[in-house]
Structure 1
Amino acid sequence: MLIFWKHRFVLLAVPKTGTTALEDALAPLSDAAIVNPPGLKHCGVAKYRRELAPFFEQKGRRPLELVAVMREPVDWLGSWFRYRSRPQLDGQQNSTKGLTFDEFVEAYLQDPQPDFAKVGSQARFLQGGVTHLFRHDRPADLTAFLSDRLGPLPDIPRMNVSPPGDLGLSARLHARLREENAEDFALWDSLQNADDAP
């Protein structure tokens, strides 16, 4: 999470949306960078407003705007699935090695979820709303916003990239995922609809 106090906005770090690369490149331009512990780095909207906003915002001044990135929900889960298949996690409870993507999504939809499928929800992370929400598949929109606010940006390298993997998902599971994670899909669909508006 990056706090741009002078520029009056916060860049939230939604997991698996490329924010690590943004943090690495833009931290020198920020007024505060929270990169650890993970629970604060990946602080959702509600937690930010409850725990951090009182620290960073001053009475009498307009609140800091919240900026975030969202990824298409199936693609987001695919990134988690591939990320947790990396060799560094072999033998650990959160490893997805040896699983198919169907098995991972099936586990994600269980209650309770096994450790390897506990990845949260973008809709829950963003619950309470942000001022500016950008699509992960349109990075130019976010960089245009950031350069408008901050001026010329440094190069933003790709980081924390998940290893390759087969992300074939059965039609049955895709339909079930859309139904049971309706909030995530509705939020993503609203971003697509906003792009289509005249």
Structure 2
Amino acid sequence: MLLFWKAKLVLLAVPKTGTTALEEALLPHADAAILNPPDKKHVTARRWRAQLAPYFENKGARPLETMAVIREPVDWLKSWYRYRARPEIAGSPASTAGIDFDAFVTGWLSYPEPEFARVGRQSRFVSDASGRVIVDHLFRYDALPAAVAFLEGRLNCTLTLPRRNVSPSAALALSPALEARLRREAAADFALWDSIGR
């Protein structure tokens, strides 16, 4: 999470959406940053509003706006699957080594999720308890230049994004039946994605 006081803006870091690269490029411009540990870095919109906004915002002043990047849901799950297949965590409960992508997505749709599939949901990250989106500015991962242009305009700077936390590449596909189930049971995530203009 990065906070830009003069620009009245907070960048919320949705996992696996390129925010590590954004943070690295933006850190010199930020007034406050939470970069570690990961569970604190990835402050949800709900947690921002309930716990951090009251601390950072001046009473009676214009509230800080929030922004986040969202990834297409199947692509987001593929990125998580590949990230958790990396050799350095093989053998841990979070590893997807030896598990196919269908099993990972089936685990993600389960309750409770097995450890290897416990990665949260983008729709919950940006919403309040009722499911209403509470992030002011949402951008698509596949149109990251729009987010960069927005930030350059708000911060009056030029940004160059490094490549960071890139998951290993692998061809992945879901079985048609499981993809249909995913689209039904994660409808909020697909609706969120579809609601964001390019």
* Superposition TM-score tier, normalisation by shorter sequence: over 0.9
* Kept in 1: contact 2:71–2:140 (CA 8 A): yes
Report Cα offsets for 1:163-190 as digits up to 9, x if no partner: 1123111111111001001110111111
**Alignment partners' CA distance in 2, 1:34 and 1:17:** 17
After superposition, residues 170-185 of structure 1 pair within 5 angstroms as 170-185=175-190
Is 1:95 aligned with 2:98? no
Identify the residue that residue 54 of structure 1 maps to in structure 2. 54
Q: Of 151, 154, 162, which residue of structure 2 is paired with 1:149?
A: 154
Unpaired runs of at least 5, structure 2:
129-133
User: Could you tell me how far 1:153 is from its partner in structure 2?
Assistant: 2.2
Preserved CA contact (<8 Å) 1:4 1:30:
yes
Structure 1: which 4+ aligned runs deviate by more than 6 Å?
none
**SS of residue paired to 2:164:** coil
Q: Which amino acid aligns with 1:123?
A: S
Query: Judging changes above 3 Å, is the alpha-carbon distance between structure 1 residues 133 and 187 closer, same or farther for their aligned structure 2 residues?
Result: same
One-letter code aligned to 2:22: L
Q: CA deviation at 1:100?
A: 1.3
Q: Kindly indicate whether residue 22 of structure 2 is the aligned counterpart of residue 22 of structure 1.
A: yes
What is the letter of the counterpart of residue 27 of structure 1? L
- Conserved in 1, the CA contact under 8 Å of 2:152 and 2:159? no
Map 1:1-198 to 2 at 5 A.
1-128=1-128, 129-191=134-196, 194-195=197-198
The one-letter amino acid of 1:54's match is P
Looking at structure 1, the residues matched to 188 and 24 of structure 2 have their Cα atoms a distance apart, in angstroms, of 30
Q: TM-score, normalised by structure 1?
A: 0.95
For structure 1, the 5+ residue unaligned runs are none
Shift of residue 160, structure 1, vs aligned partner: 0.5
CA offsets 1:117-148 (integer angstroms, 9 cap, x no match): 00000000001321100000001110110111
Contact in 1 for aligned 2:148/2:159 (Cα 8 Å): no
TM-score, normalised relative to structure 2: 0.95
Q: Which moved more, 1:77-86 or 1:18-27?
A: 18-27
Instruction: Identify the residue that residue 131 of structure 2 maps to in structure 1.
Output: none
Identity %: 58
Deviation string 1:60-84 (CA, Å, 9 cap, x unpaired) is 1111000000000000000000000
How many residues in Structure 1 have an aligned counterpart in Structure 2? 193
RMSD: 1.0
Q: Which amino acid in 1 is paired with 2:145? A: A
Q: Which amino acid aligns with 1:97?
A: A
Whole-angstrom CA distance in 1 between matches of 2:158 and 2:34:
20
